[in-house]
Each structure stands twice: as C-alpha cells, then as structure tokens.
Amino acid sequence: MKTVYHVILDEKFIDNAIALFDRVPDTVNEYLLASKSGAISLIRQKERVRVFSSHLKRCAYIKKNKPDAVILHSLSVGAMLAALIPGKRPVVWISWGQDLYKDSGEPHIASYPFTHPLFLEETRAWKNAGRGGFVPRAKKWLVTGLKDFLRARVIPRIGYLSTCLPYEFPLIQKKYPHLRQFLFDYIDDTAFSLDRTDGKNVIVGNSASLNCNHLDVLSLMAEREIPEGKVIVPLSYAGSKKYRQAVTARGKELFGERFVPLDSFMPIEEYTRLIRSCAFAVMGFLRQQATKNIQLFLYQGTKVFFYKDTEIYRFFRDSGYRVFTIEDDLTREGLGSPLGDAETAQNRALLERDFSFAKNVENLILSMNTVFEGTARHG
C-alpha cells in the first residue's frame, strides 16, 4: 500500500480530487491543509482533510512520515516549502492557471512559462490607477521577487507536471525539459449530466479575477446593444473588494437592473439553476482559465465566446468544438441565436471523448503507476 500526501489549498476543486484519487488502487491519500484559523470554507469533505496551523508544521509532518509521493495542488508558497523537504520521494505538480501565466508587465516573472499581456485597455487602466504609492509597490516587488526566487529552486525538484489543457505541457517542457507529464483533470463524475440550457441570459467570466477583463467586455457588450436578458457576473471568488465594486458599478451603469453580480457564494442547486439560464458565456481572459466552467457550458448547450487570438480558443476550435469569437460573433445577432441542438450534440460528444470521468480515472491510474515505478527504480 502506497501513501500519498496532497498539499492543498482550501478550494472547491479538492472534492473532485478526492473522488478521483480514491479510485487509484492500493493507495492511501492524505489531504494536508495549512490554515492558521483551522477553518475550512470551500472543501465539503472536511473529514478527509488534516489541518495544520502553519506551513512549517505541515512540512514537519511530511518529513517525519516519509510518504511515497507528494502531490502539490497548485504551486503556492506553502506547496513550494513542502517540495523543498529533503528526500528522494517523487513530487507531482498539478498546475493551476495562476502557476503558469503572468502579465508581461509584472516584475519577477522569469520562472513562469507563459508571459504575455493579460489585461485589455480598460482593465489595465483600472489596475494601474490602483497601484498605490511607493510602499505598497515596493512590498509587492519584494514579495514577487521572493516567490520567483523560490519557484526557480523548487521546479527543478519536481518530477511530474499536470496541466489543465494538453497543449500547455509541451510548451512548458521546452522551458523545463526534466518534467514528465502527469495526466489529471479535476473533472466531476456528475459534470456531464446537466440538462440543456433553457434561458436567454449572458454570463461574463467565472470569478472576480482581473484576468476576466470584465470592464472591457461589459463596455463592448453595451456598445453592441446586446438583446434583452440578464447579464450575470460571478464575483464571489478571487479578486479584490475594490475590483468587485468597480465591476458592479460599471455593470449597473451600463445595464441597470439587467446586471446581476453574484457577490456571495450560493448553494450548488441554486447556482446550477442560474447557470442553466445562461444561453451565452463570454470568457474575456487572454490565458487558460475556467476550463471546468467552459466544459460545463459546452455540455449544457451554452454558446461560448473567446477572444480569437488566444490559445484556449484555438484549442477548442481546432479540437472540433463549436465555439465563437468575441471580436466577430459577440453581436446583437450572435446573442439572439442560441446554440442549436446539433451543435450541442457535437460539443457533448467531443467532451465525452476528451474529458470523461472514466477516461480521467484511467489516465490517473496510469500516471500514478508511472510515479511509483520511477520511485522503485531510483529508491
């Protein structure tokens, strides 16, 4: 029996990870969370989580118990400290978008494999206006410098990497050729069982992250005089309070009562009903983001719009999915015609091919066997 320690954040994806790793035979999984308050907010299966009051206490636990493998769910500072623990145990990095992408205008980004402009005109102007004085900018410079320094020393100690979408791995491997591919996706076993969308609303972005470029997207939608229907914007996750307020103010100014900001967490049943009412989804980010949301939208027959000069748009388009561009298709006419039944069936078939739960479990078992076999050869 192999023991695997998962270094986690308090995020909703972890429940999906628990369900998947439970299907790996002859393996015991422990989920280790550092939480100063001891509270767990977003993970539902709290009984599966071992909580530590600090990153250092979590590291001491890992060092003492010598697991057969350590899996990092995102490359947070706490995860990097865990990866630096001496020993020959294999380390797997399940990457999130925030681990891989940085705006090219940010300082200390040498360790990130993807660096290019992430913000459009209005969003960048808002961001630059809120940079603050010398002290906050100096603090950010120091923090980002320390993080980049740690990443440069941690990544060479990692043996395996999982990416959200397949095109990312070979590009990252050019920068870090020692990494081996680990196949894993935070897919839910009920993800592809949603009913067909039955509304006419538009959802913009997936969170309060600046990467969604809300201000630019909302302005463009108002300029193009989109049809009637609610404009729903999830803002309860990520982002700052000031940014959420700015997006809400702009949305109310442009769309009045049609604008619906989701600024608090909703019960999953209520959220699912709301999502089902969205026939259109505008994903204004310029990097890979919200892949799980996108998969759900495609399955339920939502018409999904991306900026055309993005890798995520090209991935779905070139894989055969029926997706659309913000530049050419986000028009009054485009938002007046929902996705047809044949197009929805096409997207569903491709999702089953590329992202099914059963295929994900099969890939995960193969990847874990590769990790353990590598340990046996080098142990």
Q: Over its length of 379 residues, how does the chain's per-residue pLDDT go in tens digits?
A: 999 999 999 998 999 999 999 999 999 999 999 999 999 998 999 999 999 999 999 999 999 999 999 999 999 999 999 999 998 899 999 999 999 999 998 999 999 999 999 999 999 999 988 766 777 778 888 988 999 999 999 999 999 999 999 999 999 999 999 999 999 999 887 777 778 998 899 999 999 999 999 999 999 999 998 877 899 999 988 888 999 999 999 999 999 999 999 988 777 778 878 889 999 999 999 999 888 889 999 999 999 999 999 999 999 999 999 999 999 999 999 998 999 999 999 999 999 999 989 999 999 999 999 999 876 444 4
Q: What pLDDT is attached to residue 375? A: 61
Structure-token match 């044949």, residue found: 342
331 burial via Cβ count (<10 Å: 0-12, 13-18, 19+): middle
Sheet holding 2-8, edge to edge: 49-52, 27-34, 2-8, 69-73, 91-94, 160-162, 180-181
Q: What pLDDT is attached to residue 132? A: 66
Query: HSE on the CB side for 118, CA within 13 Å?
Result: 20
Q: Which two tokens stand for residue 27?
A: 């393996």
Residue 202's DSSP bridge partners are: 231, 280
CA distance readout (Å), 239 to 136, 164, 236: 17, 21, 8
Count the residues in the chain. 379
Q: What pLDDT is attached to residue 378? A: 44
Q: Which two tokens stand for residue 358?
A: 């059963």
CA distance readout (Å), 114 to 109, 118, 163, 186, 288: 9, 10, 13, 22, 10
Q: Which two tokens stand for residue 350?
A: 């491709």
Sign of CA dihedral 247, 252, 257, 263: positive
Closest of 249, 196, 254 to residue 225, by C-alpha: 254
Q: How many CB atoms lie within 10 A of CB 177?
A: 7
Quote the pTM value.
0.92
In the chain, the amino acid numbered 234 is P
Using CA atoms, how far apart are residues 21 and 70, in angstroms rounded to an integer?
13
Domains identified in the chain and CATH numbers: 2-185+357-369 (3.40.50), 191-355 (3.40.50.2000)
Q: What pLDDT is attached to residue 189? A: 79
